[in-house]
Amino acid sequence: MTELTAIELAGNYPDNIQIDALKSDNGKFAAFCYRLKDGEIHKLMLSTQPVFENEEEANNSLHEVAKACVKHFS
């Protein structure tokens, strides 16, 4: 992740950020972090490989990243 992405994430979490997970063909879950604009997905900011055992674990991983960005840049 670039510093610019981290700053943008910090400035928009949680109100303008959507984090979702998707089950892959290997049975594991990947996570996706989107920036919202006017309540709609504007762009993909971060994504992971499908390495998580469940949807909750995948989502929590990116929520933790976002919280760390907020803590670091606020």
- Three-state SS sequence of the chain: CCHHHHHHHHHHCCCCEEEEEEECCCCCEEEEEEEEECCEEEEEEEECCCCECCHHHHHHHHHHHHHHHHHHHC
Residue 74: per-residue pLDDT: 84
The set of residues, in sequence order, having a beta carbon less than 8 Å from that of 68 and lying 6+ positions away, is none
- Model confidence at 25, pLDDT cuts 50, 70, 90, reads very high
- pLDDT for position 27: 98
Is the whole model's pTM more than 0.85, yes or no? Answer: yes
Q: Is the pLDDT of residue 8 over 90?
A: yes
Confidence of residue 23 (pLDDT cuts 50, 70, 90): very high
Q: Locate the domains of the chain by residue range.
A: 3-73
